[in-house]
Structure 1
Amino acid sequence: MATDDRVNYLARLEGLLRDLRIAISLCTRLPVAPSSAIGEGDLARASWAFPIAGALIGLIGAAVYWIADRLHLPPLAASVLALAATIFLSGAMHEDGLADAADGLGGGRTREKKLEIMRDSRIGTFGACALGLSLLLRWSALATLNDTRSVAIALIVAHAAARAVLPAFMSLVPPARSEGLSSSAGQPQPVSAAIALGLGIAALAIGFGLKAMLTGAVALAAIGLLLARLAQRQIGGQTGDVLGALEQAAEATLLLLATTLL
């Protein structure tokens, strides 16, 4: 390999590793952020790695379930612990987004009022109901699976594929406001969104099989389209809270799908 080719190869590899560290540090509490400052556009470029960060979250949740099972805890308790581990590892970022999005989209009569409600850190009735339903659906799905192998597959696939749709959503639906996490992250380039989707589809195919992959992909597309239409009509675009709601809806849907397959 020529010197220039080797330098270019190492530079590309370093860029991929930096993207991966940015994605994991954004999606989890793990202290893996790059030492250099994250600049404008870095988050959008690194979004292709969101599914990898999601798979890591699911893997750790599966490990907690396995430990609970080895300690002879009942499946209901093991499922609670696994779910708690994924929430803690992600910093409850998407749960917070779901609650804020539900409060904003469910309340307020004007676009400005809805955005104001979504900025408020307090949880209202719509947010509490949405969060409670999300937790119950995901917990009941894990408890229904009732064995470590099925739980591991379901968690890894659900967390990876649910985050795989976020870059495409960010790319296709414009930000609703000029400030906030979604706006500052920027809109991912089509190649980043395509790679993320490809990783999500691969996770579905490997974990659920080719036939169920199509069902999962259609379900994710339907959720994304419905939420995009709702957000654009009510607030003029997407926000970080809307992205959190999308991830939660996708994750719960895929876990429920897993109960019919595994």
Structure 2
Amino acid sequence: MSRNLTVGLLLALQFFSVIPVKKNLPMEKAQLTAMYAVLPLLGLLFGSVLASATLLIRETTDVSSLLMAFVIVAGSIILTGGLHLDGLADVGDAYFSYQDREKRLEIMGDPRIGAFGTMVLILFMIGKVIVISEMAMNISLWTIVFIPIVSKIGLMLLFSSTASAKNTGLAAYFQKSADRKRIAGAASIWLLIVATAMVFLMGWQITGALLIAAAIFSVIYRQWCRKNFGGVTGDLFGAYVEGTELLLWTMLLLFI
């Protein structure tokens, strides 16, 4: 069991981060299930790195809140290798093409970015920097840690509860191969642990607002994916992570 968790963590780093893991790792059911089960640990790693960088810059420099927000956003992109933003751009191209479902899936599979994807990406990035800049200098470092963890738990639940829109592709292979019931169970345990920690460190009001907002968004997003694409894909997972994190940052803005 511990070996599977170790391999799962290495696979998570390999597929969901820019951290190089130059190994040929087994990708059977147990390892892929473990990969998704440990995704919140990856969120913890990303959040801790961003929080540490924020603390260091706050204590050693006198930068503006806008620059601080840029550092947080850029750091997140660097840590993930832009994986989720790539998915967001592809989803933008597909959805705003106003084509039928099959054509949308075909557009998402195109490695090139189109006009709609570019516009979605630019507006999203500007919006995220502006939202974070409004509170970058006085935001609790714990919130920076917890936001990527919550988005990864949501990703686990979306992955385990929604059918794939395609029969091909890496995400479809993962969904066919992994034990989605175990992943859903692991997500529930993670949610309980993280919610408890958030209440203790941030208070129940902020915790409740963030988790309720994330839950509502997840339900709406799942239905939107099923209606417009017939299920989920790797790009839709990436867009979900980015959308959830922007929503959580926006909710925090309302409490500061």
Question: 1:200 offset after TM fit, Å?
Answer: 4.2
- The AA in structure 2 aligned to 1:47 is Y
Correspondence for 1:37 among 22, 25, 35: 25
2:217 counterpart of 1:223: yes
Q: Name the counterpart of 1:62.
A: 51
2:168 equivalent to 1:179 = yes
Aligned equivalent of 2:102: 112
Task: Determine which of 231, 235, 252 is the counterpart of 2:229.
Answer: 235
The aligned residue for residue 8 of structure 1 is none
Normalised TM-score (structure 1): 0.85
Distance (whole Å) between structure 1 residues aligned to residue 109 and residue 86 of structure 2: 11
**Is 1:83 the counterpart of 2:37 in the alignment?**
no
Compute the displacement of 1:32 (Å).
4.1
Q: 1:44 to 1:15 in 2, by over 3 A?
A: closer
* Deviates further, 173-182 or 196-205: 196-205
Q: Which runs of 5+ in 2 are unaligned?
A: none
| Identity percentage of aligned residues | 24
Q: What is the distance in 2 between the residues matched to 1:55 and 1:14?
A: 20
1:157 equivalenced with 2:151 (yes/no): no
Distance 1:205 1:149 in 2: 20
Question: Are residues 231 and 146 of structure 1, via their aligned partners in 2, closer, same or farther at CA, if it must alter by over 3 Å?
Answer: closer
Tell whether the 8 Å contact from 1:58 to 1:155 is kept in structure 2 after alignment: yes
Quote the Cα distance in structure 2 between the aligned partners of 1:162 and 1:37.
26
CA distance in 2, matches of 1:113, 1:103: 11
**Does the C-alpha gap of structure 1 residues 134 and 44 become closer, same or farther in structure 2, counting only changes over 3 Å?**
farther
Report the RMSD for the aligned CA atoms in angstroms.
2.2
The Cα shift of 1:84 comes to 0.6
**Correspondence list, 1:23-34, <5 A:** 23-32=12-21
CA distance in 1, matches of 2:53, 2:192: 25
User: Which residue number corresponds to residue 133 of structure 2?
Assistant: 143
Question: What per-residue deviation string (whole Å, max 9, x for no partner) do you get for residues 57-97 of structure 1?
Answer: 12212222233331222221122112111101101111111
How many residue pairs are counted as aligned between the two chains? 249
Residues 104, 188 of structure 1: alpha-carbon distance in 2 compared, 3 angstrom cutoff: farther
> CA–CA distance in 2 between the matches of 1:189 and 1:161?
18
| Cα distance in 1 for residues equivalent to 2:190 and 2:131 | 23
Q: Is the 8 A contact 1:201 1:213 kept in 2?
A: no
Match of 2:190 among 199, 204, 213: 199
Residue 139 of structure 1, CA deviation: 1.6
Counterpart secondary structure, 2:134: helix
CA contact (8 A) 1:204 1:216 kept: no
Question: Structure 1: any 5+ residue segments left out of the alignment?
Answer: 1-11
Letter in 2 for 1:39: M
Q: 1:190 is matched with which residue? A: 181
The TM-score with structure 2 as length reference comes to 0.87
Counterpart-to-counterpart distance in 1, 2:159 and 2:10: 20
